[in-house]
Structure 1
Amino acid sequence: MHFTKLTEEEYAEFITHLPVHYTQSSEQYNYRKQHKNDVHIVGVKDNDNVVAACLLSEARTMKIFKYFYSHKGPVLDYKNKDIVDCFFKGLNKYLKKHRTLFVLVDPYVLETVRNADGDILRSFDNTELITQLNKLGYKHQGYSVGYSQKSQIRWLSVLNVEGKSEQEVLKEMDYQTRRNIKRAQEMNVETKTLDISETERFYKLYKKAETRHNFKFKEDPHEFFKETQKMYPEHSMLKLAYVDLNKYLQQLSQKSEQLNAELKDIEYKLVDSPNSKKSKNKFEQLKQQVNSNNKKITEAQQLMREEGEILDLAAALYIYNKDEVYYLSSGSDPKFYQFNGAYGLQWDMIKFTIANHIPRYNFYGITGDFSEEADDYGVQQFKKGFNAHVEEYIGDFIKPIHPLFYKIYQFINK
Structure 2
Amino acid sequence: MEVKDMQFTTNLSREEYDAFVASHPNSNLLQSYDWARVKSNWDHLYTGMKNEEGKLIATALVLIKPLPGGFSMMYIPRGPILDYTNQPLLTAFLRHLKQEGKKRRALFIKMDPAIIIGKYPSSDTSRPKNGQEALVKNFENAGCIHQGFTTMISESIQPRFHSIVDRPEDLLASLPKKTKKLIKEAEKRHLKIVQGRHALLEDFASLVAKTEDRKHVALRSKEYFKHLLDCYGDNSIIMLAIADLGLILSENQKKLAKIEADLTSLPENQKKKRFTLEEQKAGLEKDIANLEQFGKELGTLDPTPIAGVLTIKYGKCAEMLYAGMDDRFRRFMPQYKTYIENFQWAFDHGCEEFSMGGVEGTLDDGLTHFKDNFAPLIHEYIGEFDLPVNALLYKPSKWAYNRRKGGQD
TM-score (ref. length: structure 1): 0.83
- Residue deviations 1:129-182, cap 9 Å, x none? 2222123221111111112275111110111124x1233233xx2x32221111
Aligned residue among 373, 388, 398 for 1:385: 373
Equivalent residue runs for 1:99-138 within 5 Å: 99-120=105-126, 122-126=128-132, 128-138=134-144
CA distance in 2, matches of 1:411, 1:239: 42
CA distance in 2: counterparts of 1:208 and 1:299, whole angstroms: 19
Asked if 1 retains the 8 angstrom alpha-carbon contact of 2:197 and 2:236, the reply is no
Cα pair distance change 1:311/1:92, threshold 3 Å: same
Question: Equivalent residue of 1:234, what SS?
Answer: helix
Are residues 1:22 and 2:29 paired? Answer: yes
How much is the aligned-residue C-alpha RMSD, in angstroms? 3.2
Output the amino acid matched with 1:345. Answer: T
For the residues of structure 2 that align with 1:338 and 1:53, how far apart are their CA atoms?
47
| Segment of structure 1 superposing worse, 300-309 or 109-118 | 300-309
Query: 1:306 aligned to 276, 297, 310, which one?
Result: 297
Amino acid at match of 2:339: Q
Give the match for residue 45 of structure 1.
Answer: 50
For structure 2, list consecutive stretches of 5 or more residues without a partner in the other structure: 404-409
Q: Mapping of 1:344-359 within 5 angstroms?
A: 344-359=337-352
**TM-score, with structure 2 as normaliser:** 0.84
Find out whether 1:333 has 2:333 as its counterpart: no
| 1:221 Cα offset (Å) | 4.5
After TM superposition, the structure 1 = structure 2 runs for residues 359-378 of structure 1, keeping only pairs within 5 Å, are 359-371=352-364, 377-378=365-366
Asked whether the equivalents of residues 67 and 100 of structure 1 are also in contact (C-alpha less than 8 Å), the reply is yes
Which amino acid in 2 is paired with 1:249?
L
Structure 1 counterpart of 2:348, one-letter code? A
Give the counterpart letter for 2:96 in structure 1: G
Aligned residues: 392
Query: Is contact 2:42-2:64 (8 Å) kept?
Result: no
Say if 1:181 and 1:343, in contact at 8 Å, map to a contact too: yes
Shift of 1:17: 2.4
Following TM superposition, the consecutive aligned residue runs of length 4 or more in structure 1 with deviations greater than 6 angstroms are 256-261, 280-284
C-alpha spacing 1:241/1:149, structure 2 compared with 1 (3 Å): farther
Task: Give me the whole-angstrom Cα distance separating, in 2, the residues matched to 1:79 and 1:251.
Answer: 62
Matching residue's letter, 1:381: H
> Once the two structures are superposed, what CA deviation does each residue of 1:315-342 show, in whole Å capped at 9, x if it has no partner?
2221112412212222222222111112
CA contact (8 A) 2:102 2:389 kept: yes
1:167-186, aligned counterparts within 5 Å? 167-170=172-175, 173=176, 175-186=177-188
Query: Which deviations, in whole Å up to 9, do the C-alpha atoms of 1:207-228 show, x marking residues without a partner?
Result: 33334434345xx645433332
Separation of aligned partners in 1, 2:248 and 2:314: 35
Aligned-residue offset at 1:302: 3.5
Deviates more, 1:120-129 or 1:181-190: 120-129
Quick one: distance in 2 between partners of 1:38 and 1:329?
A: 24
Against the structure 1 CA distance between its residues 396 and 240, is the aligned structure 2 distance closer, same or farther, given a 3 Å change threshold?
Answer: same
